[in-house]
Structure 1
Amino acid sequence: MSKTVLTTSEIQFANAEFLPEVVKILNEGHTVTLRLRGYSMRPFLENDRDKALLVKPSSIKVGDPVLAEVNPLHFVLHRIDSIEGDNVTLRGDGNLGVEHCKKENIVGAVIGFYRKGRKEMDATDAWKWRTYSYIWTRLLPLRRYILGAYRRIWIPIFGTI
């Protein structure tokens, strides 16, 4: 009897090429699980470790994590910091600065995260995420120091996983 050996490979694309296709899939009503790239949502979401489950946004509010096109073909996954009319201000949990877009440029809403290789999703409407969000968003003046300690002390000792 012969054995069939299956192999898998991973292909990486630039966000400017890949994310417009993700937007098309979301607009068709499908969900998309997206591996996170970048460090803007530290300390709780890590580059190339965690995944986000996205849907087409139906309504947005302050505090929601969203995928937005802030410039042509430049997408970010950040939390909504404020909404004033049609203007939306976004801030990554690991960022001190903000980015801006229009409501129409919010292309995906995050309904949950798969963190640290877990199979169970941390839903953004569950108590765990809401509690974390409540605390973290109010620590804005102290984030610089917390993130600095995380990068300089925690990661060298314990890593990101």
Structure 2
Amino acid sequence: MSADKLWLNNEVFFAEIGRMLQHGESVTLRPKGNSMLPFIVEGRDHIVLQKAVNVEVGSVVLARLPGNRYVLHRVYKMEGERIVLMGDGNLHATECCRREDVEGVVVKMVRSGRCVDLTSSSERFKAALWRRLLPVRRYLLFVCRWWILRNGKMFT
């Protein structure tokens, strides 16, 4: 293990993130996985989380799921205290949690050194359009994944 890395198990790691967010601090993370393609890309993007105050359809949230699992997915639907989440890179799979299980909301993303405000009207429009494209998302994701494999990164 190199000197610049600290290995923590998920339980300790996410407990500390939750504590920091509850104290009003921002947390910057490097996301893992492809479930948020094409909007959040592993290895390229960093996300900035803040305390979950305003959670609405279209928000990207860090949520605690049963079994002490955590996901970074977009709010797909809200039904009272129940929140349905779906990754942008998913075709059908959803997860459910309660409002109190949302640890934080992604407010910014750092992409190739450039800051992207995920609460801006343009970013919210892109997310809403992507949601409407769910019937053809399979084909769009195929192109995105092909592009990443070919070029080593998504559009910068």
CA contact (8 A) 2:58 2:124 kept: no
| Aligned-residue offset at 1:79 | 0.5
Which deviations, in whole Å up to 9, do the C-alpha atoms of 1:34-84 show, x marking residues without a partner?
111111101121113211111111121111111100123211111000000
Question: Out of 68, 74, 84, which is 1:73 matched to?
Answer: 68
**Using a 3 Å threshold, how does the CA distance of structure 1 residues 47 and 26 change in structure 2: closer, same or farther?**
same
> Equivalent residue for 1:31?
26
Alignment of 1:7-156 (within 5 A): 9-96=4-91, 97-115=93-111, 117-118=112-113, 120-151=114-145, 153-156=146-149
Task: Give the fraction of aligned pairs with identical amino acids, expressed as a percent.
Answer: 36
Report the CA distance shift for 1:27/1:72 in structure 2 as closer, same or farther (over 3 A): farther
Unaligned stretches of 5+ in structure 1? 1-6
Unaligned segments of structure 2, at least 5 residues:
none
Q: Is the 8 A contact 1:66 1:110 kept in 2?
A: yes
State the distance in 1 between where 2:55 and 2:39 align.
Answer: 22
- The Cα RMSD (Å) is 1.8
Q: Which residue of the partner structure matches residue 158 of structure 1?
A: 151
State the one-letter code of the partner of 2:24.
Answer: G
The answer (yes or no) to whether the contact 1:69–1:106 under 8 Å persists in 2 is: yes
Q: Is the 8 A contact 1:56 1:107 kept in 2?
A: yes
TM normalised by structure 2 equals 0.88
Q: Deviation above 6 Å: which 4+ runs of structure 1?
A: none
Larger radius of gyration: 1
Report how many aligned residue pairs link the two structures.
152
